[in-house]
Every structure is written in C-alpha cells, then in structure tokens.
Amino acid sequence: ARFRHLRTRKAVLFVNHHGPLPVGTGGACGRHATAWNLLKTIATHSKGKDGIVLVGDFNADASTLTVKELDQRLHRVYTGTSFGGMDHVFSNCAGSKVVSRKNLGSGGSDHDALEVVLQL
C-alpha cells in the first residue's frame, strides 16, 4: 500500500510479507528469488523519494540468504525474538530516522507485535 501525507506530500510504500515454508528455505523459488521478488515489487510500486517499509513474518532468521540479500539493499531496523527472529522490519530510512523500536508482546498470536516509529 502506498500512503501520502496530505500536507507534506511525502509518501510511504508499506509492504507486508509472509515468507514461504519450510522455514529458512525461500520455498519453491529459493532464498535469492524470494529476496529479489520482494525488491522487484518495491521497485515497481515505489516512486522517487518514497519512504519504504517492508515488514512481516519472513520465515527466515537473520542468518538466511533471504535476509542477507535484503540487508544489502535495505536497513533492517528491527528483528523480533519469536521463533528465533523470523519477524523483521526493513526500511530505506535508518539511523536518526528510527525514532523508536519496541516489542509489544504476543497479544494472543504465536508471533510478537513489533512497533517501529520512523521519521520521514
């Protein structure tokens, strides 16, 4: 989904991903293809100076090729702890643009809710 602030006209492309199974494999297409398909989707739907936020249950921890590929092109601004760190938040904003990060707990899900506040 692409959102635009009415006053500042700044836009954000927000992408939610649920990774393939089995865990850590990249599914039928493999780890490289999973990462590249996500990046291609972002490139296709973002414009100019959009803020990019990619979130989800990737079914891949930080040691997997899928996450390492994404790490080369986006900033991983937060990783949860559920299932050894399968949930990630990536963005093209990092450093001082990350205002806060917080694990909100499970709230009844098998994964934790993650909160990241970014300043565009």
Q: Tens digits of per-residue pLDDT, 39-69?
A: 999 999 999 999 999 999 999 999 999 999 9
pLDDT bin (cut points 50, 70, 90) of residue 71 is very high
Q: In DSSP terms, which residues pair with 11 in a beta bridge? A: 4
Peptide bond into 20 cis (omega under 30): no
Q: CA-CA distance, 81 to 28, in Å (whole number)?
A: 26
- Indicate if the pLDDT at residue 107 is higher than 90: no
CB contact at 8 A, 34 and 17: no
Q: Which candidate, 35, 47, 33, 41, places its Cα nearest to that of 15? A: 41
Average pLDDT of the segment spanning 21-25: 89
